[in-house]
Amino acid sequence: SQTIHQWPATLVQPVGSPLSLECTVEGTSNPNLYWYRQAAGRGLQLLFYSVGIGQISSEVPQNLSASRPQDRQFILSSKKLLLSDSGFYLCAWRASGIDTQYFGPGTRLTVL
Amino acid sequence: GDSVTQMEGPVTLSEEAFLTINCTYTATGYPSLFWYVQYPGEGLQLLLKATKADDKGSNKGFEATYRKETTSFHLEKGSVQVSDSAVYFCALIRNAGGTSYGKLTFGQGTILTVHP
């Protein structure tokens, strides 16, 4: 069966510091991968998606970037965090040709 | 563009009460429809889905029917439990399959609290 992991689970970072969040998927090959941000525990905003290694599409311009160095690894980064980057970050995967996305456990980021 | 509108809530019920959370959508073509549930501090879990008109998705006592004529996908449960307390998200995906990246469009979420 497929599983999706995210780490760290929680993170507290000062403004201006770098960020690296990791997402990995097991039990599938060539998944479509997604990064979402959830603010105030409610709506989800799609940040990035990837259909393959090295292929990244950005949904909104912002202080964040994403990379996919391996087939089942998706990384969310920032060079300098802003207060507004605080939130709950969710990674999701979808098998190619299937309509359902499956979500990871999330990372709670607090920028102080 | 695509959009999903769901009951704002919060919804507060007593245990064993009947639950309805309304969801309507706007999309071209024939989207797939989903309900996801998020328990406190956790990621989203797929609760149920329906892929075509008149399909009924069901899971854990929850049901939702894909109504194309009213563009709705209302979530129902006959008897809620305290453990059902969570945030519920309605969502759709258009252009599923093929080379599409499968972008999900979410509603804003509805907070459900069930008291003993």
Find the mean pLDDT for residues B10-37. 94
Measure in Å the smallest separation between the Cα of A82 and chain B Cα atoms: 22
- The residues on B that touch A, with CB distances below 8 Å, are 32, 34, 36, 41-46, 49, 51, 87, 89, 93, 96-99, 101-104, 106, 108-109
Find the mean pLDDT for residues A39-44. 74
Pick the residue from chain B with its C-alpha nearest to A32: B101
Which segments within B1-116 are labelled E, that is strand? 3-6, 11-14, 19-21, 23-26, 32-38, 44-50, 56-59, 62-65, 75-77, 86-93, 104-106, 110-115
Contact predicate A106/B42, CB 8 Å: yes
**Tens-digit pLDDT profile for residues B83-110:** 999 999 999 998 654 444 578 899 999 9
Which of B1-5, B17-21, B98-102 has maximum average pLDDT?
B17-21
Q: Which among A43, A101, A105 has CB closest to B102?
A: A101
